[in-house]
Amino acid sequence: MLYINGEWRHSLSGNTLDIYNPATGEKISNVAYCGKEETREAIEKAHDAFQTWKQTTGQERAQLLKKVADLIRENGEEIAQTITKEMGKPITEARREIISGSNYVEWFAEEAKRIYGETIPAPQIDKHLMLVQQPIGVVGAITPWNYPLSMVTRKIAPALAAGCTVVLKPAPSTPLTAIKVFECFYKAGLPKGVVNLVIGPAEEIGAELTSNPLVRKITFTGSTTVGKKLIRDSADTVKKISMELGGHAPFIVFEDANMDAAVEGAISTKFVNNGQTCICTNRIYVAEEIAEEFGEKLAAKALQLIVGNGLNESTQVGPLINEQALKKVDSHVKDAIAHNGEILCGGERMEFSNLNGCFYKPTVINHANDRMKIAQEETFGPVVPIFTFKSEGEVIEKANNTNYGLAAYCYTSDLGRGLRMMRELDYGIVGINDPAPIVTQSPFGGLKESGIGKEGGKQGIQEYLEKKFVSILIG
Ligand code: ADP
């Protein structure tokens, strides 16, 4: 169903979209599928709702958001099952997403009370200067399928906390989780029009969101290609934008690193969400003298990962989102082999007699080199190449040799080296001996073509506020 102006709706055309479970290939549901007209109506209703929502206090908005966070937690198991059924991740990871997704809502409920302004010292005694912060207006939010709950809450919660209203377009493969989140908004009693949900063809809805002058802000998570298009399309109406785009994370292991911790870290940063995360490790760089040992240990651990239907409690790696994703992963592996890569484990599709899904064996490729596609393109799957390096300077140069700049990881027991890496790596997120840097408090965002702006942390709400300068002549 769509959710527009506080009502659950069918599309005007009556069209629906079938939703499939990527682990089994089975159809699990169908949802209303709308277009430009419903999107325009949702924007107009969000604009009407903004006139009163912006007048509420931070305290009032905080109370409603706190209720939303509680409702997500109360319905957590049902939402987690929905996440796993529609996009495949292991149920244990889906449960972790319930925690992170609801934590974002609680965090921004608290931040709603902390939207401060500034008093600016005036150059003359008869003036009083101030900077006030105000909500920007209607927000168009476009989210991906890989974190169908937390990508939605990490955008909508700060927008609402700031006093903005929202029209959300979730990814077409994961609308069911978005609907569950909107049920929480509905039950929490958010005023009508404050949040709106449209599901339909990306280009058509995207065109309306980016061209409609009532939308003052576009927030997007997804591929760099689509992000660039949205930036271009938003230019005519000069919208504020925030973009969380692709990544190509280097994972650097120095000779002085704790080898076992680095192997564990590589496993978790690579195979979480089956490699379908923009901060997933894409390239491992290991100091030459320890590379063979590291590769053996990593492949041994990767072989132990339990692949299967995410609904099984023991599953550690689920299916890829669809056949097209599997083909891309396989093409990167074949290309790596053609460029002299050595497969240490995996390297092919995984078949199950009882599952008709898109499974791929966790794969480690040794002797990687820069001629391979995988050295530059985002694989978005359970495949990792190992490169070697001789010096710190060389690995910094190689790690930074990409247009992406989202996340980088580095393992070393030398504090000075860790700090040098922090300074030199051109990435918005750097984990030093830490495979899981992202928490609610962290400002998440990329440099270069990985994005613009931050989500999460105290910075997250700033994306939805405008600063207004006021000068008062006292006389
Ligand atoms: P992915 O390859 O991970 O699906 P995309 O960037 O294609 O990444 O998709 C991320 C989100 O962007 C999804 O909600 C998708 O429907 C949406 N999207 C894709 N193309 C467009 C477009 N031209 N305009 C607006 N949204 C789009």
Q: From ligand 1's centre to the CA of 230, what distance in Å?
A: 10
97, 106, 244, 449: the active-site residue: 244
Is 410 among the catalytic positions? no
Q: Please answer whether residues 136 and 241 qualify as being in contact, where contact means their C-beta atoms are separated by less than 8 angstroms.
A: no
What is the pTM for the complete model shown?
A: 0.98
Domain boundaries, the chain: 2-245+449-473, 249-439
Atom 18 of ligand 1: nearest residue by CA position: 202
Contact residues of ligand 1, CB 6 A cut-off: 142-144, 169, 171-172, 202-203, 206, 222-223, 226, 229
Atom nearest to 142 CA in ligand 1: 14
Pocket test for ligand 1, best of 36, 39, 86, 142 (most atoms within 8 A of CB): 142
Is 293 among the catalytic positions? no
CATH of span 249-439: 3.40.309.10
Distances (CA, A) of 187 to 48, 180, 419: 21, 11, 47
Distances (CA, A) of 457 to 101, 124, 361, 452: 13, 37, 36, 15
Q: Please answer whether residues 389 and 368 qualify as being in contact, where contact means their C-beta atoms are separated by less than 8 angstroms.
A: no
CATH superfamily for domain 2-245+449-473 = Aldehyde Dehydrogenase; Chain A, domain 1 (3.40.605.10)
Per-residue pLDDT in tens (0 to 9) along the chain, 475 residues: 999 999 999 999 999 999 999 999 999 999 999 999 999 999 999 999 999 999 999 999 999 999 999 999 999 999 999 999 999 999 999 999 999 999 999 999 999 999 999 999 999 999 999 999 999 999 999 999 999 999 999 999 999 999 999 999 999 999 999 999 999 999 999 999 999 999 999 999 999 999 999 999 999 999 999 999 999 999 999 999 999 999 999 999 999 999 999 999 999 999 999 999 999 999 999 999 999 999 999 999 999 999 999 999 999 999 999 999 999 999 999 999 999 999 999 999 999 999 999 999 999 999 999 999 999 999 999 999 999 999 999 999 999 999 999 999 999 999 999 999 999 999 999 999 999 999 999 999 999 999 999 999 999 999 999 999 999 999 8
Closest to 219 measured CA to CA, from 139, 158, 151: 139
34, 164, 184, 278: the active-site residue: 278
Q: Please answer whether residues 241 and 273 qualify as being in contact, where contact means their C-beta atoms are separated by less than 8 angstroms.
A: no
Q: Please answer whether residues 448 and 426 qualify as being in contact, where contact means their C-beta atoms are separated by less than 8 angstroms.
A: yes
Q: Please answer whether residues 427 and 408 qualify as being in contact, where contact means their C-beta atoms are separated by less than 8 angstroms.
A: yes
